[in-house]
Structure 1
Amino acid sequence: MGYTRIPLCFQCHTANRCHCKVVGPTIGFLAFVVTAAVEWPVGAVVYLFRHTKGRRIMAQPAHVVYPKVARAFPI
């Protein structure tokens, strides 16, 4: 019988009392995966014609989506 594991991400030594965040980084990771599944193929197609724009599109999940979502949750 197999068990499905939910990905948990920890960010320690933050400003909160217990010095660890779990909810924000975990939801940020899930948002990263969803946006990356859409934006990486689109970025790869755009990269064929405009290299800089394609790289920016492919980097957006890591540089924009994950940090914004992870910071939105204080715990």
Structure 2
Amino acid sequence: MVGVGVPVCVECGTTSNPCRCKVLGPTLGFVAFAAAALVEWPVGALVYCFRHAKGRRIMAHPATVVYPSVSSALPI
């Protein structure tokens, strides 16, 4: 029987904590990214049909705003 593990994101080499590795921040950042992308990418694709620049900004929002802000909010 094969066990299914929980995906975990690890970021090493940071200076935000003494152990220089982050696990909780990047993992929650990825979950927030996926949830935002699930909503914003279809909306961005629809808007892109009419306003290209606005559609690109909507589709880039999870990667440029959501993931970095959630990931950096937790130093662990």
TM-score normalized by the length of structure 2: 0.93
Q: Counterpart in 2 of 1:35?
A: 36
Structure 1 residues without counterparts, runs of 5 or longer: none
Q: Deviations over 1:1-39 (max 9, x none)?
A: 443321111111111111100000000000000000000
1:21 aligns with 2:22: yes
Q: Deviations over 1:34-54 (max 9, x none)?
A: 000000000000000000000
Give the Cα separation in 2 of the matches to 1:73 and 1:45: 33
- Give the percent of matched residue pairs that are identical in Structure 1 and Structure 2: 63
TM-score normalized by the length of structure 1: 0.94
RMSD (Å) for aligned C-alpha atoms: 0.9
Q: Counterpart in 2 of 1:48?
A: 49
Q: Which has the larger displacement, 40-49 or 15-24?
A: 15-24
Give the Cα separation in 2 of the matches to 1:11 and 1:57: 26
Q: Counterpart in 1 of 2:8?
A: 8
Give the Cα separation in 1 of the matches to 2:36 and 2:4: 22
